[in-house]
Amino acid sequence: MTRHLLTGAELDRDELGALLDRADALKAEPLSSRALEGRSIALIFEMHSTRTRLSFEAGIFELGGQPVVLRRDELQLSRGESVADTARVLSRHMAAIGVRTGPDEMLDELAEFASVPVFNMLTARHHPCQALADLMTLREEFGRLAGLKLAYVGDGNNVARSLALLGAIAGVEVAIASPAEYTLTDAHGATLTTQPAEAVAGAHAVYADVWVSMGDEDSAVERRELLAPYRLDDALLDRAAPGAIALHCLPAHPGEEVTAAMLYGPRQRIWEQAENRRHAQKALLELLVRSEGRHADNV
As annotated, the active-site residues are 100, 127, 130, 209, 249, 277
- Cα distances from 214 to residues 27, 46, 156, in angstroms, run 30, 12, 15
Residue 198 backbone zone (phi > 0: left; psi -120 to 50: alpha; other: beta): alpha
Q: How far apart are the first and last CA of the chain?
A: 10
CA distances from 216 to 95, 155, 156, 220 (A): 34, 11, 13, 6
- Can you spell out the DSSP letters for the chain? ----BSSSTT--HHHHHHHHHHHHHHHHSTTS--TTTT-EEEEEESS--SHHHHHHHHHHHHTT-EEEEEEGGGSGGGGT--HHHHHHHHHHH-SEEEEE-S-HHHHHHHHHH-SS-EEEEE-SS--HHHHHHHHHHHHHHHS--TT-EEEEES---HHHHHHHHHHHHHT-EEEEE--GGG--S--TT-EEES-HHHHHTT-SEEEE--SS-TT-GGGHHHHHHHHGGG-B-HHHHTTS-TT-EEEE-S---BTTTB-HHHHHSTTB-HHHHHHHHHHHHHHHHHHHHHHHHHHHHT-
Determine contact, residues 35/290, Cβ cutoff 8 Å.
yes
